[in-house]
Copies of this chain bind each other. A is one copy, B any other.
Amino acid sequence: MPDSHSGESLLFLTDEQLRQGIEAVFFAYQGFTADPDRILATMAYGRAHHRAIHFINRAPGTTVTNLLAILGVTKQSLNRVLRTLIEDGLVESRVGASDRRERNLYLTEAGLALENRLSDAQRTRMRAAYRDAGPEAVAGFRRVLEAMMDPEMRRRYASLRESSQ
């Protein structure tokens, strides 16, 4: 069993197989972002706004610094996005309770409404893909994705999972 397994793995990991995996990720990611992008295009928003909204919804009260680390962008880049979201009344920024230097970020009613529209669209596609592929495939999908992450991002991903049970 260990022998046959390692043989199977060697056979599997040809450059051609890896290339196909790389292309699959590329094409799948196009589909992944297509539906929210279509919604965002009708407003003055882009993918960056979507990402901010998503993670604020996911971890309400999160700080700017934390969001920066998750998104992996600079303070200036995030701030530009955040400013428009606050101006438009989708995000609320409250001064921190324990540490008044921090800003805790929350979605407003309108922010929640947009978040739902966007993630509904994205979830619909994921749901269909999961259903087509079957539960075992989904488990494998998740395992490979996790293995592809940078260790730091894997930690952040894991802590997000914990925080929502």
Contacts and interface: CB of A to CB of B under 8 A. Distances in A.
Interface of A: 5, 8-9, 12-13, 15-16, 18-32, 34, 51, 54, 58, 72, 119, 122-123, 125-150, 153-154, 156-157, 160-161, 164-165
A16 B162 CA distance: 12
Contacts of A165: 16
Contact of A123 (B18, B128, B133, B153): B18
A139 B131 CA distance: 15
A133 B129 contact: no
Contact of A143 (B128, B134, B161): B134
A9 B134 CA distance: 8
A142 B143 CA distance: 12
B138 A139 contact: no
Count this chain's copies in the assembly: 2
Given A18-B127, A140-B138, A146 B72 contact: no
14 contacts: A9-B131, A9-B134, A18-B127, A21-B130, A22-B32, A24-B146, A25-B32, A27-B149, A27-B153, A27-B154, A28-B148, A29-B29, A140-B143, A141-B145
B137 A143 contact: yes
| Residue of A16, A28, A143 with highest tally of chain B CB at under 10 A | A28
A161 B16 CA distance: 9
B58 A19 contact: yes
A145 B25 contact: yes
A14 B98 CA distance: 35
Contacts of A153: 27, 30-31
Given A31-B149, A145-B28, A146-B28, A23 B160 contact: yes
